Amino acid sequence: MHFTDDIEEHVYQSYLEIGIQDYHERIRFFERNKAAIAHLPYELRLELSLDYSSALFEVGEHFEFLKHVDQLLEAVIIDNIYSVDGDDIYQELLFRKASAMHTTLDLHGADHVYSELVKIDSSNPLYRMAFVKNKTSLLNYLGQKYRAITISMVLICGLLIGIELLIIRPFFESYTTYIEWSRNLLLGLAILGMIFHELYVRYLAKSRLGQIVNNKS
């Protein structure tokens, strides 16, 4: 038993000796020594698990990070762990979870988590900015039909240009002005439509942020 304890203590100390920003090596070491880490005292095991999940996030392994984060959030809540090295570990895990969801295009899930973060700390500019960014992406996704219409208008403009160059100018030059007006009008409407849609979704995103902040207060 004592021999086993020595091995586990060695594994813990060896992990701590890895460079703080050597995330890939920390991930490899943790995954190679999962059995030994599983037998560490609970506090040490949680410490390494939190660091491992942080390393996963930092190297962009967001799907893998999302597999672990809920279990860590539950442990943090149950054990009333408010801070690690002066940082609010609960909010940090939540923010990383939302960021990972956004990156993996789970925009609905990210929207919910960012909303909770804004409710927790509505004065945090990082939470507010991330919420608006994700909400804008979500609204753009939900408004794909509208965007498809404007893109179709641009494609029609291209088609009209082709018709103008190949048919109208060589054979029906008198209609050239009408075609030019038509394609310019269509292109103008498409551009205005894109600009309006982008401004509108940003307005909706900021309005929703305002609703959350006001309801909290």
Comparing 184 with 53, the larger pLDDT belongs to: 53
Q: How far apart are CA 101 and CA 134, in angstroms?
A: 10
Instruction: Kindly list the distances between the CA atom of residue 128 and the CA atoms of 106, 117, 139, in Å, as whole numbers in the listed order.
Output: 18, 9, 16
Cβ density class 180-207: b for 16+ within 10 Å, e for less = eeebeeebeebeebbeebeeebbebbee
Distances from the Cα of 136 to the Cα of 55, 81, 131, 143, 207, angstroms: 28, 33, 8, 10, 11
- Residues 99 and 131: their CA atoms lie apart, in Å, by 10
Q: Which residue type, as a one-letter code, is found at position 198?
A: E
Interval 148-161: pLDDT, tens: 777 877 787 788 77
* Of 199 and 70, the one with more pLDDT: 70
pLDDT in tens, 160-191: 777 777 777 777 777 677 777 777 887 888 88
